[in-house]
Amino acid sequence: MQLIPQPDHPLIFQVNNPQFGVNTNMIMSVQNEGSPPSNIGHWQVPGHIPAYANDSSHVVNGPKIKLLSVNYQFRFHGFVNSRMIRIDFVRQKKVVQGSLWNPSDTANFLPNSSHQFQRLAGFTANKIDTKTFEVIATRRVFLDSKGASPLGTQTLENLPGGENHVPDSNATKVTMPSTGHMRYVNINLPLNRVYKQIDSSVSEVTGDDEGIHMDPHSAQFQTSSAVGSYSHTNQSPLSNVFCVISCDDNVHFGDTLSGDVVYCAMIRTCRWRDPIA
């Protein structure tokens, strides 16, 4: 899956949730104030091996886990000029608007208050409110793989094979690219913290763990981003950690054809201990 962070629609996902699958720990796109983020993808097991789902060593059991560390490998690629990418890991420290915990209230907690992270990358006056959010880690990536041209944005006719293509493309450049078209970033978060479920996924009758099939708060919050025993709605909203990926590249129609867009790919490795591990 190709993920595209944009100024008004950065990517956001929960860090303190090692679960995977189509109905757990969604990768989301931030929307404007008053609207919850939209789901655009989910974490997958390498190779889509079905056996992982039945292997107790790969299932995140309840009612609590000690999340030792989470490692992220990011790959950003695209043919763009002078674009800044920003990665932030944040935790909410207090209620945005003074009201009690309500998972269906879009103004209270992350990820529903994520509109505050719009337009953070690049030349901008926007900042993260450090009174409300703790910034655990920040990385910035510069991508300048296209160079500047007096002709403006390249069109399909100017690309190789097009009727207006100039064989010596360097002749039309004002500045040459200063980076390659791919940048890699590795971030390791040594959280070493215990995370507890609000509603235990362990049955008091059978002792079985519902795990990824659990649907906490389903009556109040009907969205697949809240499904799973370690979803953001089934943990304290002030203990949840989220990752926000921003970019100052505005994507327009046709950019995906010319390559003038920043794509993001991610690999995640989680280390945890649970009562059954």
Whether 166 is in a domain gets the answer no
**Phi/psi class of residue 184: alpha, beta or left (left: φ > 0; alpha: ψ in -120 to 50)?**
beta
pLDDT of residue 248: 93
Whether 217 is in a domain gets the answer yes
Sheet order of strands, 133-143 included? 38-42, 26-29, 11-14, 241-247, 83-92, 133-143
Report the amino acid identity of residue 274: D
pLDDT of residue 243: 98
pLDDT of residue 252: 58
pLDDT of residue 96: 60
Whether 33 is in a domain gets the answer yes
Whether 211 is in a domain gets the answer yes
| Contact assessment for residue 75 and residue 53, using Cβ atoms and an 8 Å cutoff | no
Mean pLDDT by 10 residues, the chain (277 residues): 87 93 83 86 70 58 93 94 94 70 62 91 93 95 80 50 52 74 96 93 78 58 68 90 94 59 92 80
Give the pair of three-digit tokens for residue 66: 């000690």
pLDDT of residue 69: 96
Whether 245 is in a domain gets the answer yes
Residues 6+ apart with CB under 8 A from 57: 277
Whichever domain contains 89, its CATH number is: 2.60.120
Give the pair of three-digit tokens for residue 228: 């799973």
Whether 169 is in a domain gets the answer no
Number of domains forming the structure of the chain: 1
Whether 173 is in a domain gets the answer no
Whether 31 is in a domain gets the answer yes
Residues 6+ apart with CB under 8 A from 214: 199, 201, 227, 228, 229, 234
| Residue 190 domain boundaries | 11-145+180-273
